[in-house]
Amino acid sequence: MENSEIKVSGLISEEAMKEYMVFHSSKTRIWYVILSVLLYSVLIRIAIPDVSVIIMLIANLFMGTIVWFMVSKMYSKKGIKEYRSDLLMQQEVFYTINEVGIHQKVGRSEMLTRWEDILSIHETKNLFLFYISKNKAIVIPQKFLLKSEMQRLRQLIKEKENSKGAALEYTEPVARKQSENPDGVSFTIFISEKMYIAYIHFLARKAKVLFPIWVGVIYLLLALLLFKEITIFIAAFAVAISIANRFLLSTVINWKAATEYRSDRRMHNDIHLEVSPDGIIQTLSNSQADFTWDNILSVHETKTSFLFFFSKNRAIILPQRYLGHEEKEKLKNIINEHARTKKVVYMNKAS
C-alpha cells in the first residue's frame, strides 16, 4: 500500500475517555445485569411466593435496565477520574501509523506498538481502539483524522488483519534518550506475574474491605425487611457471606490480573528504570516513558515494591528485590528531596 503512513495529533478529551470506558465495560455490564436479575428473582420469590410470571418479568426488566445504566455511569465516572488524574493524558498526542505499527509521542515519552502486538481493533462511533492487552487500548479519536486518512487507516487495518501470522520484518526499536544525571539510580528489572498480581491487589485494597462489608449490610437489611428481626443465626450468616465475598473478590482479582499480564506482551521483557532528581525514565523494548516529578501523584512502598503513581490507577513498579540497602536509601533520599507530592507512604514511617 503506497503512501500508507498517517500522521495525526490532538488532545484526547474527557468525552473520548468516557466513550472508551463505556465501550470497554460492555461485557462487564452484561454480567452485572445477569447476576442482579437472578438475585432479584430469588428475593422476589422469597418476599412474594405467589407472584405471577408477568410481574416477575416486568420487575426483572426494570431492575436490569437500572443496573445497565448505573454500571455505565460508574465506568464513565471512572474514566473521567482517570483522565483528570493523568497529566500526560491531557497533553497533545502525536501519532504516526504505518506498515510497522503505531508510534505515539506525548511530551518526552514515546511508544512504538507493532501490529503483531495488537490483540484486537474496534471502531466505535467516535473512536478507533487498538487493544494492546485485555484492558489497555491505544485511543485515537476519529476527529483527529481527515476523511481520506480515515479510509487509509481502515484499509491499513484490513491489510494487517489479513496478514496476521505472516513473517513480519522488524525495524530498529525506538531510540533511547540516555540520562547523564550522576545522582540517579538505575535498574534493569523484570515484572513477574506474581508481582503484577500483588500490584493489582494494592489497587483494590479499599474494595477488598468495603465490598464484603457492603454485601453483609445489604444481606442484613434484606433479612430485616423479610423477617422483621435479626437473629444471631442471621448475623452469623451475614459475617460468613462477607468473608466468602472477600475470598471470591480476591480470586476474581487474581484471575483478572493474571489474564491482563499474560495478554500484554510488553510486560514479558526486561524494563530499564532510572530514578533521578529530574524524574523517572522507564524504557521497554519499543518505548520510553519520561516522567518528571510533577507527573508523579503519589509514591507508596509495599512489602514487594515501590509504586510511583502517575494517574489514579496506573503506576511505575520497582520491585524491592532489585534494591540493595544503599540503593534503597539513595532512592528514598531522591524521593524525599524531589517528589512534588505530599502523598509519600513508606512501610517504615520514620523513613
Whether 273 and 227 share a structural domain: no
Domain-located, residue 251: yes
* Highest mean predicted confidence (pLDDT) among 78-82, 148-152, 170-174: 148-152
Whether 129 and 256 share a structural domain: no
Residues 257/258/260/262 CA torsion (nearest 10 deg): 160
CATH number of the domain that residue 327 is part of: 2.30.29.30
Domain-located, residue 178: no
Least confident segment among 238-247, 296-305, 330-339: 238-247
Whether 103 and 47 share a structural domain: yes
Q: What is the distance between the alpha carbons of residues 142 and 22, in angstroms, rounded to a whole number?
A: 17
Domain-located, residue 207: yes
Domain count, the chain: 3
pLDDT at 277: 94
| Structural domain range at position 312 | 185-190+269-345
Whether 7 and 67 share a structural domain: yes
* pLDDT tens track for 211-238: 888 878 877 887 777 677 788 887 888 8
Say if residue 31's pLDDT is above 50. Answer: yes
Phi and psi at residue 140, to the nearest 5°: -125, 105
Average pLDDT on 140-164 reads 88
Domain-located, residue 5: yes
Least confident segment among 21-35, 83-97, 269-283: 21-35
- Residue 59, C-alpha cell as written in the block: 420487575
**Domain end position, chosen among 229, 263, 297:** 263
Whether 71 and 142 share a structural domain: yes
Coil/strand/helix, residue 114: strand
**Domain end position, chosen among 221, 236, 263:** 263
pLDDT at 349: 53
Q: What is the distance between the alpha carbons of residues 173 and 163, in angstroms, rounded to a whole number?
A: 22
Domain-located, residue 137: yes
Q: Tell me the DSSP string of 149-192.
A: HHHHHHHHHHHHHHTTTS-----PPPPP-----TT-EEEEE---
Whether 220 and 276 share a structural domain: no
pLDDT at 152: 92
Domain-located, residue 350: no
Q: Are 192 and 261 in contact (CB under 8 A)?
A: no
pLDDT at 89: 86
**Neighbour tally for 183: CB within 10 Å:** 13
pLDDT classification of 120: cutoffs 50, 70, 90 = very high
pLDDT classification of 105: cutoffs 50, 70, 90 = very high
pLDDT > 90 in the chain, percent: 45
Whether 14 and 91 share a structural domain: yes
- Answer with the residue of higher pLDDT: 67 or 138: 138
Q: What is the distance between the alpha carbons of residues 128 and 153, in angstroms, rounded to a whole number?
A: 10
Whether 249 and 317 share a structural domain: no
